[in-house]
């Protein structure tokens, strides 16, 4: 038996008791105050009032809107609570190291909302009146030495794919076919308010052709992971708004694709494939219906590409805006380590990128090291990045550019 207490002042009990603490107290006014001030509070699950057994670092997608930010926090509180209850039932709760919480404040909600939240909302309204909400650019370079994942910095040599009026490019994946390098991208069409998948191919003289559309669906598509396996070429794009993760097979590469199988049902984002120790694995984030799409890491395992894909029994592996959402395919460094680019949402979606070392992976354990932040020093002009990929000597990234609304994109 397990007791869940979500309010202050509960009586003592002989029954094991779980409480949730955020911003120095139980979920409530203090949490709303923290969100209003622009803070990013985390949630702790406490066993019997003294032992921290789990934590969540929720992503707040719209920090300018206090009500939406609070919804993101509460949604992940539910995710955390369900995870803790499952762990208790399976007898795998374990104490975590202590972490300092924000001090508890008795201030009313009115003051931080008026002095911090409303001005922040006003600044965002002005920004959106002047600039497009988001405009991504894709960069590429050729390098034979250690890339970004190994060096931890962007460095130099980047060239941007030229912008096209009415659309932007993001989520680049590099791929080689018959010795010819290509870049697959999310191609966002402003008028349609959704993206298609396009490919930009290199000519024999080394110049890059303009991206052309190769896959269009009624729903939004992004994160076009392309790979060769089992005598075919496949694409595993994100299509979370469709409510399923669909695998596509190339009929005539790279221009014709057909859906081959639905691997996973749900709002799965940025699913990233890895073959390891005789199994296939997918790392992704799962929204589970509410909250952010960027803070809850889940892992799936299968004996073959077409499945069946089964969720890892530890799902969700973690709830953490700093390292849950993949930001590109897993790379292997010179020492044989597996490195996963991860998105860091501390400063908002697309706010930064880190690289996490995969330490353990099997049917019982999933463990990553703390991600190392990628330094944006170098000649790439856009400091907010969220995708990194490489194929051979071709390396690709993306970054948010401030695009005035007078530029018709």
User: CA–CA separation, 264 vs 259, rounded Å?
Assistant: 13
Same domain, 372 and 258: yes
How many domains does the structure of the chain reveal? 2
Residue 260 counted as domain residue: yes
Looking at the structure, tell me whether residues 108 and 156 fall in a common domain: no
pLDDT score, position 396: 98
409 in a structural domain: no
Contacts of 386 (CB under 8 A, 6+ apart): 327, 343, 349, 350, 351, 352, 353, 398
Residue 118 in any domain: the answer is yes
What domain range includes position 26?
3-129
Task: Answer yes or no: is 380 within a domain.
Answer: yes
Write down which residue in 129, 157, 186 finishes a domain: 129
Cα angle 380-269-46, degrees, rounded to a multiple of 5: 105
Assess whether 106 and 151 both reside in one domain. Answer: no
Nearest Cα neighbor of 394 from 183, 186, 149 is 183
Query: Shortest CA distance to 371 belongs to which of 338, 341, 329?
Result: 341
Position 95 scores a pLDDT of 92
Residue 403 has what pLDDT? 67
Helices (H), 3-65: 29-37
**Domain contains 408:** no
Closest CA to 328 of 222, 230, 255, 181: 222
Q: How far is CA 27 from CA 6, 329, 342, 397, in A?
A: 7, 37, 28, 39
Domain identity same for 24 and 85: yes
- Does the residue 164 lie in any domain? yes
185 and 52, same structural domain? no
Final residue of a domain: which of 129, 161, 181?
Answer: 129
Nearest to 187 by CA among 208, 203, 160, 163: 163
Spatial CB neighbours of 50, under 8 Å, sequence gap ≥ 6: none
Residues 46 and 166 in one domain: no
**In a domain? residue 230:** yes
Q: Do 107 and 226 share a domain, yes or no? A: no
**138 belongs to a structural domain:** yes
CB atoms within 10 A of CB 131: 16
Q: Are residues 201 and 83 in the same domain?
A: no
Q: Are residues 124 and 138 in the same domain?
A: no
CATH code at position 373: 2.115.10.20
Within 8 A by CB and 6+ apart from 81, the residues are: 4, 18, 20, 45
Residue 131's beta-bridge partner residues?
404
How confident is the prediction along the chain (409 residues), in pLDDT tens digits per residue?
899 888 776 667 789 999 999 988 888 888 988 898 888 999 999 999 889 999 999 999 988 888 999 999 999 999 999 999 999 999 999 999 765 554 455 556 767 777 777 777 777 677 667 666 678 999 999 999 999 999 999 999 999 999 888 899 999 999 999 999 999 999 999 889 999 999 999 998 889 999 999 999 999 999 999 999 999 999 999 999 999 999 999 999 999 999 999 999 999 999 999 999 999 999 999 998 899 999 999 999 999 999 999 999 999 999 999 999 999 999 999 899 999 999 999 988 999 999 999 999 999 999 999 999 999 999 999 999 999 999 999 999 999 987 677 654 4
Residues 102 and 198 in one domain: no
Judge if 146 and 213 occupy the same domain. Answer: yes
Is the same domain home to 184 and 331? yes
Domain boundary among 81, 106, 129: 129
């Amino acid at each position: 038996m397990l007791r869940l207490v979500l309010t202050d002042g509960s009586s003592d009990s002989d029954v094991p008791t779980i409480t949730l603490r955020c911003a120095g107290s139980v979920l409530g006014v203090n949490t709303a105050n923290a969100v209003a001030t622009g803070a990013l509070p985390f949630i702790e699950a406490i066993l019997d009032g003294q032992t921290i057994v789990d934590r969540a670092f929720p992503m707040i997608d719209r920090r300018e809107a206090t009500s939406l930010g609070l919804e993101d926090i509460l949604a992940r509180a539910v995710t955390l609570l369900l995870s803790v209850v499952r762990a208790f039932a399976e007898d795998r709760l374990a104490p975590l190291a202590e972490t300092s919480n924000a001090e508890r404040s008795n201030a009313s909600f009115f003051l931080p909302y008026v002095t911090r939240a409303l001005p922040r909302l006003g600044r965002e309204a002005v920004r959106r009146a002047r600039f497009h909400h988001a405009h991504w650019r894709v960069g590429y370079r050729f390098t034979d030495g250690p890339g970004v994942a190994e060096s931890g910095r962007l460095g130099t040599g980047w060239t941007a794919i030229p912008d096209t009026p009415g659309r932007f490019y993001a989520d680049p994946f590099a791929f080689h076919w018959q010795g010819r390098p290509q870049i697959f991208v999310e191609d966002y069409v402003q008028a349609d308010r959704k993206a298609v998948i396009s490919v930009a191919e290199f000519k024999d003289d080394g110049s890059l052709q303009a991206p052309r559309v190769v896959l269009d669906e009624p729903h939004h598509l992004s994160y076009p992971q392309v790979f060769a396996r089992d005598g075919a070429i496949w694409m595993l794009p994100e299509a979370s708004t469709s409510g399923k993760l669909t695998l596509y097979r190339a009929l005539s590469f790279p221009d014709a694709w057909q859906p081959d199988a639905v691997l996973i049902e749900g709002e799965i984002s940025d699913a990233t494939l890895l073959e390891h120790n005789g199994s296939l694995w997918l790392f992704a984030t799962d929204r589970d219906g509410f909250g952010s799409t960027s803070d809850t890491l889940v892992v799936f395992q299968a004996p073959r590409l077409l499945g069946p894909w089964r969720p890892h029994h530890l799902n969700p592996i973690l709830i953490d805006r700093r390292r849950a959402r993949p930001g590109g395919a897993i790379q292997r460094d010179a020492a044989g380590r597996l490195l996963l680019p991860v998105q860091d949402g501390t400063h908002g979606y697309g706010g930064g990128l880190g690289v996490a070392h995969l330490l353990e992976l099997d049917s019982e354990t999933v463990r990553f090291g703390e991600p190392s932040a990628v330094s944006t020093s170098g000649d790439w002009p856009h400091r907010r990045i969220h995708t990194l990929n490489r194929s051979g000597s071709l390396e690709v990234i993306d970054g948010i550019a401030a695009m005035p609304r007078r530029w018709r994109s």
